[in-house]
Amino acid sequence: MRWWEAAIALIFLGIVLFFMLQWAIEGAVHSRKTQVVPDLRGKSLSAALDILSPLHLGLEKTSSDFDASVPIDSILRQNPPGGTVVREEKIIRVVISQGGETVLVPNVTGLPLRNAEMLLRESQLTEGDISKAYSLKEDKGIVLSQDPKADLGVARNSPISLAVSDGPPPSGVILMPDFLRKNVTEAQAWAGQQNLSITINQDPSSLFPAGVILSQTPDSDTVLSSSTAISITVSAKASGSASSSAPQANEFHYEVPQGASASLVRIVAIDKYGEHEIFNGLRKPGTKIDIPLNESGKAQIRIFLNGILVEEKDI
């Protein structure tokens, strides 16, 4: 057999094998059952997998997009669309919703202004109006309050207005101190020095020792005048009474998560008298924080790292 005859034979054999392979593949594909693609829009990826698995269909996330009408992490679009007839083992490709272009407002209260500005930018927000106020609680340059409040959803690039401490007040300006959890005698002594009167209300249901201040009006750092009405609520529990319902000594434990740098840790307790700060400081990763608690009844602990709420616990 001449060489060209052998070449022609090989080419012919290759063509035959190619068509036989195509026929086999097509037969295998067409031997699969057909399925109607379900409508996956608005469903989560896990729910979509639960729907597709019994149908022997696959799922692939291809991208994500903003759409305020579809909840975040839900399926926005799919290909092929619902109602299409396909063979089993078909891959359904989906686009995931990122929700509306809204972001969560971080808690920047208690942070230095520069740190607060950085955190707002990282959260895709802008700095709004900056006002200054005298403060007995915070050093100069520390954020006292914010508007909107933390944990609210706002449009991206929204301005966040900040009130910043201007330090202690000058002579002649009287600010309301923070008397919460202090003894009533301290408030009375201060009022006497400032020639101000205080209305004292008592709470006999409190399990705190007698004389502990539970609430106050007005709030701390409020500018006072001689006509300002000042009132406090104190525990009326008899100091020498022995009761089985007396508050037990509790201690709250928290360990700063591991990371590359120190974090600003802020811990607040919330009870029927409102929210009060029980810890605020910069701590290295792995640092253990132990805080004695005297909370009576139900209370909640909130932990913030660098202005962001990371944990809530009921005590």
Number of domains into which the chain is organized: 5
Give mean pLDDT, residues 259-283. Answer: 81
Of 211 and 307, which is predicted with more confidence? 211
Residue 298 forms part of a structural domain: yes
User: Range of 8's domain?
Assistant: 1-31
Residue 228 forms part of a structural domain: yes
Residue 244 forms part of a structural domain: no
So what's the pLDDT on residue 212? 87
So what's the pLDDT on residue 102? 74
So what's the pLDDT on residue 299? 77
Please name the residue ranges forming H helices in the chain.
Answer: 3-30, 45-52, 113-122, 184-194
Write out pLDDT tens, residues 131-166.
Answer: 999 999 999 999 999 999 987 878 888 899 999 999
Is the pLDDT confidence value at 295 over 60? Answer: no
pLDDT band at 233 (very low <50, low <70, confident <90, very high): very high
**Do 48 and 16 reside in the same domain of the chain?**
no
CATH number at residue 222: 3.30.10.20
Residue 240 forms part of a structural domain: no
CB neighbour class for 57 (10 Å; exposed up to 12, middle 13-18, buried from 19): buried
Q: Which two tokens stand for residue 104?
A: 């969560």
Whole-number Å distance between alpha carbons of 119 and 106: 8
Residue 114 forms part of a structural domain: yes
pLDDT band at 167 (very low <50, low <70, confident <90, very high): very high
**Do 192 and 138 reside in the same domain of the chain?**
no
Of 15 and 312, which is predicted with more confidence? 312
Domain boundary, last residue among 116, 139, 165: 165
